Structure 1
């Protein structure tokens, strides 16, 4: 049996893959991601959620948002981190699955928001280990959802956009389905936008409108509960109301869909950028999206569905329960990771959610500014991937270069996540600057390899960064490093690419007049593509240029 977990901000679920299909554990699969202290004991799930409005000092929710930070939470006299609390939820899920299946649940695939950075992902792994689970892989939430939908429509072809708005995070993924292949084209998101934020603006609106004090923790917790209830009711009604008791007086709280749309307009606008970024990275327009699917309980809000329809020009689908689809997809990924025979005909590819690159110095006039980010593997590159970049020393006579590897999208490395570092010795050269070829290789497990070659001496050096792998064994790391070797060839040195360049040059020698200009443009276009090292772009050009050369040779060879 293979198990997948959706560790959510609001609710968490666990699925099992058996008999060729995933299914959810428990007749009531959604476990509230809430932890409470009762009589000195910590509990989680429904019982903890029930105490949230009445015992706010002894109950904690939405702690997933603090993963990867130093923030702590007080439960009575006890202090816990987000990792501690998440571990309790994971342990609860493990117990449910073990009790129902009779298996000792250990190996799992856990879903995470696509825009979780490495610190946040490391926190999820730490929580899993603390719950006595072995996280085989962390999978992006929209990718998990795409797998569930893609497996359902595996015989179809086209592009699926997965719009995943959960309790605390927002993710978008675009997946292409063709001939049993599920290929993630792009992923984007906002790690601090979710249903909780919509509840918050409604909570603040109600407090201001009715003059309800929010400095009292009990009143604050009860008002939050009322706001959440009204928000959910607006999913099926145009107006919602409820009674709220405050200081021995009863207030009638009400909200309409139109008012809710007005007060949440800034949040709705924030949904647009990740969608546009994903389309841009996938090199697609909204018209080229064949299907839009909704994931996450917050997508039940009519204002969200309306925004999705306006942005993408089509009505979204909800064929699978939006609360369940990520956990089901994680279960499928667990089976794929274990090479389950039922999925022999399914191939799944994923992308790097963030860019990977190095800290560099840039020259401004007569001085250098340090700490700029130079991406080598861009975000939404299909992984595994290997890219090479040439760096130079910044000073004559320099004898050492310090390479620092970062993950992120900010122009300054101080705003990105540092992953590792290495020092490379170069010969003292007082007449010229030394050049170093740096190859960065990244695989689906999170394994990173940095290979450097000092061009003047051909001296090489390598470092392997395993912090992102979640604890692969030495044997597994060795196997993955061996698999990466096949990628460590610059496209300029690939035999097929060399043959195509030689063919273009041969045709150029045969041609005359304007045909030579066309062939020269073909040569430059292909060389530029090789420099960019994008395998899909190179393959597409290979096919296109080969067809053009076929036509040229047909016309010239009589």
Structure 2
């Protein structure tokens, strides 16, 4: 009888990646060729044009060679990065990291592997999730399950817990920030809400030091302040990361940077670093507020805050969390290893490991999914964010005109009131039967844990059904889209909404719309639409009058903050 191949678990990180397996009733993290658990997500070419991955690639950075890192942030985009004489996209680069991890696992397990559970940031959109699946396929791996990073960490943390409680996973990695609120009860691990920022992570804190160093020493390189030459920035990044590591233990450190004939020293105080980082710390608050609001939980109701991700080792981050929640965070699970350990447990669940029979895990869809409606393409959510998955919901829609023979069901993902600000996923062309009246259609969205969306459309009058499985392809701008964008810019001219106060109120309303769900979101959308209608009338007196009420309404919504201001 042939033994079953093990299913591996991979934490594909922005800065570092890990691979593990669930065996003998526990998660086991596998080591790479260097005997290390962490494999840097870095790729470079040596002098012989040989491709180097991981720590070997980082070594070349000290020699001034170009090294590609942080490409996870580009997943789902069309941007290419140059390495030597070739260009690679994020899918191709990520597949190289995945292939390296696969080889490490096969070496450690002495067998071939072809199936994996892979973690993704909770706030990765559908395009980014599909890109991750494509990268795995390029690496020769079948994705058994994509699991959100904070959900995986919750699984690692909650497995050994016996008491019912509510905890918050604060996951700050190299390139992304995720937060999830999780409840434990009767052997069930239930994710109540997730939120995040795909463009906020440890790399941003590193850039603060690089920026301040360059501000002081740009003249020493006979260059003006502004963009740093790529080779200098790559070498400087390693020094900045080391400085942050030192500041995690000491109150001050010295960044020493040698470049050609230059030998420069840059003193950094921990208090000074905290001051530079204040805008980033403020950005960490918004996903926290959103997750708490969506879960309908106040900060004092959180029993424990669990820190995940290497960037949470920074004292200023821990100080922020301690101040916001009034208690010290838990670090019982190694921050760098929590995600992959949870993924190992998920792999064990998928493989039906006997030791995990009692574990039940529920997750949520971290973003809203819907379609475009109306002449101005307003977003009509069908599945609102943080709905428990798998999920299926149906909404009814009607034609705008009598005798209309076709509807284009355009599918979007996001939180903005207008579809043009959300992520376009695809469309379905629906032919309607001849009719002298308005026709109706029923649109059903079904979303599974791997981020695959099924769209079913039914025409009740005929019983006809159409189906589309949304698997995204990233598109370049077509001539039609360019024309539409140009027309949109022209519409901004000489219109009352260009007034700075009006524009500020509208932007504020759109932000609040994205931060709320349910009745509040509906109220904000209605008030915003009414204000836009008044602006369209171009009656300055009436605009001033309505603006006063609109501003007061937004103030009431804004006052629903969950945290005091952070000092």
User: Which secondary structure state, in structure 1, belongs to the residue aligned with residue 152 of structure 2?
Assistant: helix
Match of residue 190 from structure 2 = 183
1:270 aligns to what?
Answer: 283
119, 127, 137: which one aligns with 1:111: 119
Q: How does 1:230-309 map to 2 (within 5 A)?
A: 230-246=243-259, 248-309=261-322
- Displacement of 1:464 in angstroms is 4.0
Give the Cα separation in 1 of the matches to 2:83 and 2:384: 42
1:98 aligns with 2:106: yes
Choose which of 343, 349, 362 in structure 2 pairs with 1:330: 343
Residue pairs, 1:19-30, within 5 angstroms: 19-26=24-31, 27-30=35-38
Distance 1:246 1:447, change over 3 A: closer
Is 2:43–2:51's contact at 8 Å kept on the other side of the alignment? yes
Quote the residue 1:417 is aligned against: 423
Match of residue 42 from structure 1: 51
Asked if the contact 2:206/2:241 (under 8 Å) is kept, the reply is yes
Conserved 8 A contact 2:7-2:114? no
Alpha-carbon distance between aligned partners in 1 of 2:72 and 2:448, rounded to the nearest angstrom: 26
Deviations 1:87-106 (A, max 9, x none): 11111111111001112111
Distance 1:278 1:254, change over 3 A: same
RMSD: 2.0
2:126–2:451 contact (8 Å) kept in structure 1: no
Residue correspondence of structure 1 range 424-439 to structure 2 within 5 A: 424-430=430-436, 432-439=437-444
- SS of residue in 2 equivalent to 1:152: coil
- Which residue of structure 1 aligns with residue 173 of structure 2? 166
Aligned pair 1:194/2:201, yes or no? yes
Q: 1:448 corresponds to which residue?
A: 453
Task: Report what 1:156 is aligned to.
Answer: 163
Indicate yes or no: 2:236 matched with 1:228: no
C-alpha distance in structure 2 between counterparts of 1:23 and 1:301, whole Å: 27
**Displacement after TM superposition at 1:198 (Å):** 0.3
Residue of structure 1 aligned with 2:23, choices 14, 18, 26: 18
Larger radius of gyration: 1
In the alignment, which of 351, 372, 379 is matched to residue 373 of structure 1?
379
Q: CA deviation at 1:428?
A: 3.5
Q: State the partner residue of 1:462.
A: 466
TM-score normalised according to structure 1 size: 0.79
Is the CA contact (8 Å cut-off) linking 1:174 and 1:187 kept in structure 2? yes
Gaps in structure 1 of 5+ consecutive residues: 362-368, 469-527, 533-558
Alignment partner of 1:405 is 2:411: yes
Give the deviation of 1:247 after TM superposition.
5.1
Question: What TM-score does the superposition give when structure 2 sets the normalisation length?
Answer: 0.78
Work out whether residues 54 and 221 of structure 1, in 8 Å CA contact, stay in contact via their aligned partners in 2: no
Contact 1:52-1:60 within 8 A present in 2 as well: no
Q: 2:255, 2:268 within 8 Å by CA — same for their partners in 1?
A: no
**Structure 1 residue 77: deviation in Å?**
1.1
- Structure 2 stretches lacking a partner, 5+ long: 1-5, 222-226, 473-517, 523-567
Q: Secondary structure at the residue paired with 2:377?
A: strand
Contact 1:385 1:443 in 2 (8 A): yes
Deviations 1:358-393 (A, max 9, x none): 1111xxxxxxx2322110100100011121212111
CA distance in 2, matches of 1:423, 1:215: 48
Note if contact 2:426-2:470 (Cα within 8 Å) is conserved in structure 1: no
Do the aligned partners of 1:2 and 1:18 also contact (CA within 8 Å) in 2?
no
Shift of 1:248: 2.3
Partner of 1:275: helix, strand, or coil? Answer: helix
The answer for the alignment partner of 1:487 in structure 2 is none
Distance 1:63 1:311, change over 3 A: same
What displacement does 1:215 show? 4.2
Residue of 346, 362, 365 corresponding to 1:349: 362
The answer as to 2:104 corresponding to 1:82 is no
Deviation at 1:334, TM superposition (A): 1.3
Q: Return 205-214 or 315-324, whichever deviates more.
A: 205-214
1:548 match: none
Q: In 1, distance between residues paired with 2:452 and 2:91?
A: 23
In the alignment, is residue 146 of structure 1 matched against residue 151 of structure 2?
no
- Checking the alignment, whether the CA contact within 8 Å between 2:368 and 2:381 is kept in structure 1 is yes
Asked if structure 2 preserves the Cα contact closer than 8 Å seen for 1:393 and 1:433, the reply is yes
8 Å CA contact 2:42–2:54 kept in 1: the answer is yes
Show the counterpart of 1:502: none
Structure 1 match to 2:502: none
Aligned match of 1:312:
325
Q: Is the 8 A contact 2:9 2:347 kept in 1?
A: yes
In 2, Cα distance between equivalents of 1:143 and 1:77: 40
Between the aligned partners of 2:65 and 2:399, the Cα distance in structure 1 is: 57
After superposition, the Cα gap between the structure-2 partners of 1:97 and 1:67, relative to the gap in structure 1 and judged at 3 Å, is: same
Q: Which residue of 1 aligns with 2:489?
A: none
Is this contact kept in 1: 2:147–2:450, CA < 8 A? Answer: no
